[in-house]
């Protein structure tokens, strides 16, 4: 029996290269070894972005197109939309009853976001319960492994605490204690050298056209110590070089030589990077076009995913309700 994986992404915008190298490439590799459930976490998007839902359905569709184009294979993995599988909410309700408030109030991600995010009002009942729903997402499938970034570790710890509390209270061994699956992912910074993030407006989106990519790359920051063309550059601290390493590693040494020995200017170096990246993304972009145009196909994939997810989730919910004498 294969071990089970569940992971999800919040559809709060278009996906960018950071999502591709940070999550999707990894999900794709896991598809053969594990039984995978990948969901669009639209309830979680609502919990933090409830004030602006104008583009929610567009983002959901667009993200699914990116997943498929990147190589999430609906014949191998179950791909679904969280809000279409109502069993998540049943378990969320049950977990809400047994989760001590203190656990949620002390959660580091919660405290940090309450402190940092001033542009939205997150002082809501739903936002406090965000990790409870995430625990339900994972445990409704009895998933053992959860591929996520480090920022999600506190939520995984909460999921284990909730599982333990349930098993103890009702003297049943229903829920596993899921672990994060942290894998080495290349660190990809945004165009300006900060973390790649929509809110910094420094992303290259997966749906960007060649022209947009060229334009965006031409605006990238390069080695600040290299002022004149004849100055030697420092590839190891140059963000443009790190893009070469991630996307076109084959020519990495050559590029390093261009830069360190002042054989090529930064403008030309960026032009070549844009060409190389566009070339590298070509098969992805072609698949993306095909999927984006075939709305019926996407609908069908999501319907099948929903059916499979409901079948798996219903089984665990039944067991859970029985443990509660419901
Ligand atoms: N909170 C996750 C994030 O922001 C998204 C998510 C929701 C998730 N439910 C999940 C991730 C369950 C893993 C498992 O990235």
Asked whether residue 283 falls in the same domain as residue 310, the answer is no
**Separation of CA 220 and ligand 1 centre (Å):** 30
The minimum-distance atom of ligand 1 relative to the CA of 10 is 5
Residue 13 lies in a domain: yes
CA angle, residues 272, 277, 281, in degrees to nearest 5: 150
What is the number of H-type helices and E-type strands within the chain? Answer: 15, 5
Mutate to test the pocket of ligand 1, among 4, 5, 10 (most ligand atoms within 8 A of CB): 10
Report whether residue 8 contacts ligand 1, using a CB cutoff of 6 Å. Answer: yes
At 224 the pLDDT is 87
Mark whether 99 and 232 lie in a shared domain: no
The answer as to whether 227 is a domain residue is: yes
Assigned token pair, 321: 């309700």
Question: Is the same domain home to 147 and 212?
Answer: no
Q: What is the distance in A from the centroid of ligand 1 to the CA of 276?
A: 32
Q: Could you tell me the strand order of the sheet in which 145-146 lies?
A: 78-81, 35-40, 4-9, 145-146, 179-180
The verdict on 165 and 314 lying in the same domain is yes
**Ligand 1 centroid vs 9 CA: distance in angstroms?**
6
- With a 6 Å cutoff on the Cβ, whether 10 touches ligand 1 is yes
For residues 172 and 253, membership in a common domain is answered with: no
Residue 39 and residue 167 in one domain: yes
- Secondary structure of residue 91 in the 3-state scheme: helix
Q: What is the pLDDT of residues 196-244, one digit of tens each?
A: 999 899 999 999 999 999 999 999 999 888 988 899 999 999 999 999 9
CATH of residue 243: 1.10.240.10
Total number of domains in the chain? 2
Residue 193 lies in a domain: no
* Inside any domain, residue 197: no
d(CA 147, CA 130): 18
CATH number at residue 54: 3.40.50.620
**Are 52 and 133 in a shared domain?**
yes
Q: Can you say whether the dihedral through the CA atoms of 171, 172, 175, 176 is positive or negative?
A: positive
Orientation of helix 295-323 relative to helix 56-70, angle to 10°:
100
Residue 240 forms part of a structural domain? yes
Cα–ligand 1 centroid distance for 62 (angstroms): 18
Shared domain check, 168 and 77:
yes
User: Is residue 199 in a domain?
Assistant: no
The response to whether residue 301 sits with its C-beta less than 6 Å from ligand 1 reads no
Domain assignment present for residue 201? The answer is: no
Atom 3 of ligand 1, nearest CA residue: 9
Query: Does residue 14 lie within any of the structural domains?
Result: yes
Q: Name the token pair of 277.
A: 């990246």
Shared domain for 176 and 264, answered yes or no, is no
Ligand 1 within 6 A of CB of 137: yes
**Domain that residue 279 falls in:** 208-288
User: Which residue is closest in CA terms to ligand 1's atom 9?
Assistant: 134
Question: Cα(268) to centroid of ligand 1, in Å?
Answer: 40
* Residue with CA closest to ligand 1 atom 14: 7
For residue range 304-323, what is the model confidence (pLDDT) as tens digits?
A: 999 999 999 999 999 999 99
> Is 63 touching ligand 1 by the criterion CB < 6 Å?
no
Position in ligand 1 atom list of the atom nearest CA 6: 14
**Any atom of ligand 1 within 6 Å of the Cβ of 4:** no
Q: Token pair 């950071």 is at which residue?
A: 18
| Ligand 1 lined by 202 (C-beta under 6 Å) | no
pLDDT attached to residue 184: 82
Q: In this structure, are 38 and 173 located in the same domain?
A: yes
pLDDT for the residue 186: 80
Do 275 and 165 belong to one domain?
Answer: no
Q: In the chain, which stretches have pLDDT less than 50?
A: none
45 and 101 in a single domain? The answer is yes
Q: Is 256 in the pocket of ligand 1 (CB under 6 A)?
A: no
Report pTM: 0.95
């Amino acid at each position: 029996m294969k071990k089970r994986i569940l992971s999800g992404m919040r559809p709060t915008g278009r996906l960018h290269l950071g999502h591709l190298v940070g999550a999707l490439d990894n999900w794709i590799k896991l598809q053969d070894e594990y039984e995978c459930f990948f969901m669009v976490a639209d309830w979680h998007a609502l919990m933090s972005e409830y004030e602006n839902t104008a583009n929610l359905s567009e983002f959901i569709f667009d993200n699914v197109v990116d997943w498929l184009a990147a190589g999430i294979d609906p014949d191998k993995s179950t791909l679904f939309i969280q809000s279409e599988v109502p069993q998540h909410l049943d378990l969320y309700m049950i977990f809400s009853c047994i989760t001590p408030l203190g656990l949620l109030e002390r959660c580091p991600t919660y405290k940090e976001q309450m402190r940092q995010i001033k542009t939205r009002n997150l002082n809501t009942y739903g936002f406090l319960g965000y990790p409870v729903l995430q625990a339900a997402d994972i445990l409704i499938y009895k998933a053992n492994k959860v591929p996520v970034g480090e920022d999600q570790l506190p939520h995984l710890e909460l999921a284990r605490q909730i599982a333990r509390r349930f098993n103890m209270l009702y003297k049943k061994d229903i829920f596993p204690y899921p672990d994060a699956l942290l894998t080495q992912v290349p660190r990809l910074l945004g165009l300006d050298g900060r973390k790649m993030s929509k809110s910094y407006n420094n992303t290259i989106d997966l749906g960007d056209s060649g022209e947009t990519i060229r334009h965006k790359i031409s605006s990238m920051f390069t080695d600040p110590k290299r002022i004149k063309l004849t100055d030697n550059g420092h590839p190891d601290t140059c963000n443009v070089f790190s893009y070469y390493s991630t996307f076109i590693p084959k020519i990495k040494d050559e590029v390093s030589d261009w830069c360190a020995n002042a054989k090529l200017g930064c403008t030309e170096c960026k032009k070549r990077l844009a060409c190389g990246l566009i070339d590298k993304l070509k098969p992805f972009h072609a698949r993306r076009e095909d999927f984006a145009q075939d709305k019926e196909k996407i609908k069908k994939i999501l319907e099948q995913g929903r059916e499979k997810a409901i079948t798996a989730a219903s089984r665990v919910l039944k067991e859970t309700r029985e443990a509660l004498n419901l």
